Structures are given as C-alpha cells and as structure tokens.
Chains A and B, each alone.
Chain A
Amino acid sequence: MKLHEYQAKELLASYGVQVPEGGVASTPAEANRVAQRLGGTCVVKAQVHAGGRGKAGGIRLVSTAQEAEQAAAALLGTRLVTAQTDPDGVPVGRVLVEQTMEVEQELYLGILIDGSAGSPVVIASRAGGMEIEEIATESPELILRVAIDPVVGFQPFQSRYLSRAMGLNADAAKALTPQLTALYRLFMDRDCSMVEINPLVVTKEQRIVALDAKVTIDDSALFRQPAMAELRDLSQENRLEATALEKGIAYVKLDGDVGCLVNGAGLAMATMDIVRAAGFDPANFLDVGGGADPERVAETVRLVLEDPSVKRILVNVFGGIARCDDIARGIVLAMPKERREMPIIVRFLGTNKEEGKRVLQDSGLTIHPIADLNEGVEVLRRLATP
C-alpha cells in the first residue's frame, strides 16, 4: 500500500528524519495560509500515487502566498496524467506546500527487502534526482548496496562507507548516520516493503533532508499496522482495482479486450502470456482464488464480466482447492443479462470439471469448451475473423 508524499513525510518526521518545513492543503485558501506561514519561495506539489509528477506539471515553484494559492487552484480537483499513470490520470485531492532549500548535493536512498538474501538492503547513489532505473542503465557503477543484518540492524560504519563512496564531506557524513539509522528503524517498525528518498539532499548548511519520500507498506502486514492502513487513499487506485482490493481480490486492469478468469497467480500470468503471444491483448489479470463458494466467485468474476472493454472471456481453471462447478455457477450468477451473447472460452481441469462444464452448457451462455490453451488460441482466432 502506497502512502502519499505528505503522509510519508509526517511518518519520517515522527522518526526524526529531517524533512522540509511545509504543510498539506486541500483548498487553495489553505495553500495560501501554509505559504504565508513559510514565507518566501515555496514549492506546491500535487499529492498523487505516481512518479513523474514534475514533468507532468504537478510540481510548481512559487514566490508568494498568492501564487501558491493560484498553483493549488490549478492543481486541486484536476487529474494528473504522468508517464506512470494510465491516460485518465489520477485525481489531485491535496497539495503539499513546502519551503525550498539551497541544495549542495542530491543523493538517492532506498531501503527494500532483498528476497534472495532474506534481509533488508540499503541502495544509495550520488546520482540522486534521477530515477533509480535510469541510474541502473546509465551508470550502474554509481549504485551502492549495503545488506543489513537484521540481528544488529543498520550500523554507523555502513553509513560511513556510503558517505565515503558518495563523496560526502565530514560534516554531511556525520549528519547522514542518524538519518539512515532512523529510516531503517521506520522501515522495520512499519513493515515497509519500500522506503525511497529521491532526492535525499545535502543542504548548504550540511544538513541531510528528505526532499521527496515514497513509502510503501507491505499489504500482508496491514493487519498489524492499523495506523498505516488508515492512510489508504482509494481515489488513487483504478476504480475496478480499488473494488478488488476492498474485497481482497488479486486484480489488475490491463488495456486489452480478452477477459481472463484464471485461478492462481502463476497460471493467470501464464494464460495472459499465451493470449498475448497469439496476438490478442488481455483485459485484466485476475486470480479467481481457491475454495470460494459460487456467490464469492460471482463477486470476483463480476469485475471482469462487467468491464465494458471486455469483448470475450477466457476461463482457465485448474481445480484443486478451487472447484470447477463453483466457478461455473459463479460465472452464471455474475453474467449481466445484456451480455449473455459474449463468447466464453472455457477450460476446466481437476476437481469437479465435468460438473462445471455441465453447469455452463446448461446455462444458455455462449460457451466454447476447449481441452488445452493452444485450442483456446485457435478459438480466439476463429472468433476474431468475421
């Protein structure tokens, strides 16, 4: 679960990480008041769960409170489209108004879990301000990695190593250690899957300040992080995806028109790959899940059956915990009346496959049974040729 920048910075500050003076505003008048309080030059930043805000016009530099108010008015209530959003963009419900500062050096700092090592790892670079993916392609030698032993935690010597490798002077190096220690503590305390500070800046006064902040809380830990769970902003997520999330369904909206109903994440991805390799585009990723009753299945598959961009459906279910007949009944329950003509290509294997096939055949829906996925691709092709 992603936090907004202003939420992330409040969290950072509560752990003693230095962030710029500022305040969040949901109206232009509030933005004016924050800017007045700060005085002088400010930056007005759209609060959205997407990178690439600067290039998309979501970050405005202003020199008076009046200008801050205007910038906020121009951003609030609009949808910001960045390189990382879909073409509709994401709504701007709040702006963060912050004091600007004189920056001497921009660094990159990230903490995440290294799955292979089974421990947290700190990623740092002197090439801050650039996306880490860009640094990785253009100058991979500038990316530093420090594995953290979870028993002893982040240590000052590791901070000193990073400072030396990034070319920090003695004062900045001294300031960096408590900041990184605090960030690591936050990462562990709050069950983060990622903390990314880009840029982490060295100011003229040799202070270390988090100029931007991205914090992602691991979804699986939200049950024990109630304060973090409350920070969720569903407006930032695709409507269908947000619905899915509320119901605990693994769903991702994609661009194509082939609706995919598959059980299990791996099989779902593999099915999408086969659809794409055949020249068609999946409309979604969806894990129908296992062991659900028909009503619950209906709730899940409705996301796909009611998606207007879906023109045909591919069902691929390998019954194990999941029962094919339950999934068939769910599909029959969820199919909207006006879409009963929509072709459904079905492959059932495993638990209660015959019963599942019978339920669909008797439903009056437009069913194309297949034995394997290669046959499914043939049916897709046949349906596509008029």
Chain B
Amino acid sequence: MSILVDGNTRVIVQGITGRQGTFHATQMLEYGTNVVGGVTPGRGGTTVIDKVPVFDSVQEAVDETGANASIIYVPASGAADTMLEAADAGIPLIICITEGVPPRDMIGVTRYLRERGATLIGPNCPGVISPGHQCKIGIMPGEIHRPGSVGVVSRSGTLTYEAVHQLTQAGIGQSTCVGIGGDPIVGTSFVDILGLFAADPETEAVVLIGEIGGTKEQEAAEFIRAGGYTKPLIAVIAGQSAPPGKRMGHAGAIITGTAALASEKTKALAEVGAVIAPTAGEIGATASRVLAGLSG
C-alpha cells in the first residue's frame, strides 16, 4: 500500500517540452511511472520521449488519457495558472515542483484547489514516490529508495534524499515519501500527510523532517496529541544552528518568533512521543532503534 499514489496513478507532465520537464519525464518513465501524456500550450498533437503525446490543455489530456495526477515543471511566473488549470480539469492530485512561486499567487491557488477537492503537493518540493508501486512523481533520485513500510514526510528536498539514503542503508524500506515543500504557503501540511499515513495499513512508522520557521511542526504535534496519528514517529528538525531572522534558502524558514525555533519544534514533537534524531546524521540509526523496539 501507499498514500497519494499507487499502481493506478496515470500522470501527465505540465511543461513536458521544457528542459526540466523532458528530463524528469524521462527519469519517471525509466523508474516505471505511468506517464500518459504531457501539456504544453501550442505543442498539442506532437509527441516527446519517443511516444508520449503532448496536448494543448490539461482538459484535452484528461479526456484523451484518463490522467488522474499531474506534475508541474513550469517557470514560477506561470505556475499558478497551470495549477489552477489542472484543478479545473478535475485532476485530483497536483504536484508542483516549481521554486519561487509568489506567495500571493498561492493564497488564491490553495483556496481554489481546496474548493475543487484537489490535493496539491508543493510548490517548491521534490514530489512523491512510492517504491513498492514503482511510481515516482518528482525529481528525487529513484535508485536510493526501497519498497517497505516506513513513510517519509519532509519540507526539504535533498535532506529527504539524505534521510531515505540512511533508511535504505539501514535496511529500512519506504511506503511513500512526500516532500511537502519549503514555501510559506504549500498545498499540503504535515497534518494532512500524517493523517494519510495513519490510515495506510502498510505504513508502520513515519520519519518527519521539519525545519525552522512557521508552526507546521507544532500543528503536527497537536494532531498527534488529539489522536489523529498514533504510529511511531521519528523526527528531526533542521536549522538548530541558524541565526534568527536570516533566510536560509527556503522562504518558509525565516525565524519569526520563538515558535519558529528548532528547539521549540523538537520539544513539541518530543512531548507527544516522537523519537527525535539529534542530528540529520542519525536518522537511519534512530529509525532502526525505533523499529527494533516494535518487533522486539
């Protein structure tokens, strides 16, 4: 099992004829993802990567291919438009990789998508991968993943790869890995993903990778306190050494108050029973310990 994606996921790539779009569509196909088409306005009727049909609009792509997921690789200035178009065409899962989408655009996008019942992952995220279903919708290196029963949810890209690498090295496979994105406004929160993992019978435990800024980790802690997620949780918070007020690459990571500090987030999660990895170097070891406790 898995969350968000499975063997029935049919993916279209918005921006498939761009450099990034073509490259990652190829990578996804090689991994085994069912990429059924692409969308680039003005390029409809052509094909890319040997056989993938290109459409002028998401609606045409959905009508022709029965796509039920979309991944977006278009520049920031046009990203909001493509997310809205995907939701309007009835796509239930929209994953936006694009970095640097203005937050004002996301205010409207998140509302519009919620009203249409679409799930948005990102923007500014590595995407979603479920190794057991050979379904990768994103930019993560597929080869580091192994099928298994640990879920991973993270605000970061490469730090997620680091966590997955350590898990795989420790012999721990993953059910689904979700990068929710590093921006201030993203479509899906830790709470949403923990809720999905809670309901997934094949996920036994979750690794949560948080970082400084905002209060999303505290909201996850509240959700756990209220009983929304009861499986074991391993957590690590990046940015313990960040000086207050400095922006560390992710717009979401500005320390805006004490709640945004790494120490506060660690405390909130530890209080509801999460096992905290002291640093990101010890995610694999910490997960091994927790899982050994489960089987023993």
- Interface membership of chain A positions 255-298, coded 1 if the CB is closer than 8 angstroms to chain B and 0 otherwise: 00000001111111111111111000010010100010000000
Query: B7 an interface residue at 8 Å Cβ cutoff?
Result: no
How many contacts between A and B, using CB within 8 angstroms? Answer: 175
The reply to whether B101 and A220 contact each other, CB–CB distance below 8 Å, is yes
Give the residues in chain A near B103, CB-CB below 8 Å.
Answer: 113, 191, 193, 218, 220-221
The reply to whether A191 and B258 contact each other, CB–CB distance below 8 Å, is no
The reply to whether B211 and A319 contact each other, CB–CB distance below 8 Å, is no
Which of A266, A273, A274 gathers the greatest number of chain B CB atoms within 10 Å? Answer: A266
Known: A113-B184, A320-B141, A351-B141. A264 touches B157 (CB 8 A): yes
Chain A residue with the shortest CB-CB distance to B103: A113
Query: A144 an interface residue at 8 Å Cβ cutoff?
Result: no
Query: B41 an interface residue at 8 Å Cβ cutoff?
Result: no
- Interface membership of chain B positions 99-142, coded 1 if the CB is closer than 8 angstroms to chain A and 0 otherwise: 01111101110110000000000000010000000000001110
Distance between B202 CB and nearest chain A CB, rounded to angstroms: 26
Distance between B74 CB and nearest chain A CB, rounded to angstroms: 14
- Interface membership of chain A positions 128-156, coded 1 if the CB is closer than 8 angstroms to chain B and 0 otherwise: 00001100110000000000001100000
Chain A residue with the shortest CB-CB distance to B254: A193
Chain A residue with the shortest CB-CB distance to B143: A350
The reply to whether A221 and B102 contact each other, CB–CB distance below 8 Å, is yes
Which of A136, A265, A319, A373 gathers the greatest number of chain B CB atoms within 10 Å? Answer: A265
The reply to whether B161 and A350 contact each other, CB–CB distance below 8 Å, is yes
The reply to whether A270 and B77 contact each other, CB–CB distance below 8 Å, is no
Total chain A interface residues with beta-carbon distance under 8 A: 57
Known: A150-B111, A273-B280, A321-B139. A266 touches B241 (CB 8 A): no
Which of B182, B238, B256, B258 gathers the greatest number of chain A CB atoms within 10 Å? Answer: B238
The reply to whether B158 and A318 contact each other, CB–CB distance below 8 Å, is yes
Chain B residue with the shortest CB-CB distance to A221: B102
A115-B252, A266-B156 given. 12 additional CB < 8 A pairs? A113-B185, A150-B108, A193-B251, A219-B251, A266-B157, A266-B211, A267-B162, A267-B280, A273-B238, A276-B241, A285-B242, A373-B281
Residues of A within 8 A of B (CB): 84, 112-113, 115-116, 118-120, 132-133, 136-137, 150-151, 188, 191, 193, 218-221, 223-224, 250, 252, 254, 262-277, 282, 285, 287, 291, 318-321, 349-351, 372-374, 377
* Interface pairs (20), CB distance under 8 Å: A115-B214, A116-B189, A150-B108, A193-B251, A218-B104, A219-B251, A220-B101, A250-B248, A252-B247, A266-B182, A270-B279, A273-B238, A273-B239, A273-B279, A285-B248, A287-B249, A320-B141, A372-B281, A373-B281, A374-B281
